[in-house]
Chain A
């Protein structure tokens, strides 16, 4: 499977370095190594969801109890979470770090991913969610740290889009 193990490790290490203790996820090919790293880490609480919107609630609850968390999801999972993000994370001002695999963007071969790819950035923009595209492994650690800092200072959701350049090797 040509998902980059090295870059997944860089992302995982960056999440650990900002103090993430809980991550929620559904299976997603681009995130397969990241999820496994969480599974193998005795200090990480990995919560497997049935639908991504649950993860907004789980992250909110973790925040209430003082734990830092991240949601790992595909962009279609982000689309499935929109109400929870708006009416829980934004209404209550919850710092919510979201790592979103950016399917359906440049280089996409799967037709079924393309509509979600077209919608992702416009919807993030319309929700007022600051976001950044991660593509250079050398910058990932800094970009994740800055995203977490902004989420905490603004008390709002912040998204990082994981691009094909970063996640895929072919």
Chain B
């Protein structure tokens, strides 16, 4: 499974729901999949993608989707425990797991060895979890996540492909459009 194609697929099915994307390719490919006001593109802030989505989920009744990455989440693994403690029913975390810090030169991450992020989530008390390896499986569990209360934690194993051009870096504009879509 490739992240860009899978991101486009998820965008077709998630309706108007807000999405927070991890820095780097997850953000770039979300932008290329279809720029929308309810996409939040993170630049910098490595590790905080799912913490941001958690803060949102605790402050709105809408379902919130985090598109995180294995390397980033490994940096802030404690936040999985915080999600497990807060149990926000409207939070869906998808982790694009390429088992690498790919952007810096394809160095193997800990998920290429012993770390299984789905098991980490289960160990933190998150009950709705899955690991998927193709788009069909991903779509099936994603629909289940949209229909059933969470929190959901879905590890999507992916293969890296050539990077797309970097999306426009407009932090203040991103924030303005995103907040405005919540009516502020």
Point out residues on A near B: beta carbons under 8 Å. Answer: 21-22, 45, 47-51, 53-67, 69, 83-84, 86-88, 91-94
Contacts and interface: CB of A to CB of B under 8 A. Distances in A.
A54 B175 contact: no
B48 A47 contact: no
A53 B86 CA distance: 17
B102 to A, nearest CB: 20
Interface residues of B, number: 39
Contacts of A67: 59
Contacts of A48: 82, 85
A92 B174 contact: yes
A91 B54 contact: no
**8 closest residue pairs by CB, A with B:** A61-B55, A57-B51, A50-B78, A87-B44, A58-B55, A57-B48, A61-B56, A65-B59
Interface in B45-79: 45-60, 64, 76, 78-79
A69 B59 CA distance: 10
Contacts of B56: 61-62, 64-65
A47 B47 CA distance: 18
A63 B82 contact: no
Interface of B: 18, 20, 40, 42-60, 64, 76, 78-79, 81-82, 85-86, 171-172, 174-175, 178-179, 182-184
Secondary structure of the A side of the interface?
A: helix
A88 B44 CA distance: 7
Contacts of A86: 44
A93 to B, nearest CB: 5
A22 B55 contact: yes
B137 to A, nearest CB: 28
A58 to B, nearest CB: 4
A76 to B, nearest CB: 16
B183 A57 contact: no
Contacts of B178: 64
Contact of B78 (A22, A54, A87, A92): A54
B53 A61 contact: yes
A66 B183 CA distance: 8
Contacts of B175: 64, 92-94
Nearest to A87: B44
Contacts of A69: 55
A35 B95 CA distance: 32
Nearest to B18: A64
Contacts of A61: 20, 51-59, 64
A55, A60, A84 — which one has the most chain B CB atoms within 10 A of its CB? A60
Contacts of A45: 58-59
B60 A65 contact: yes
A47 B86 contact: yes
Given A22-B59, A63-B179, A57 B79 contact: yes
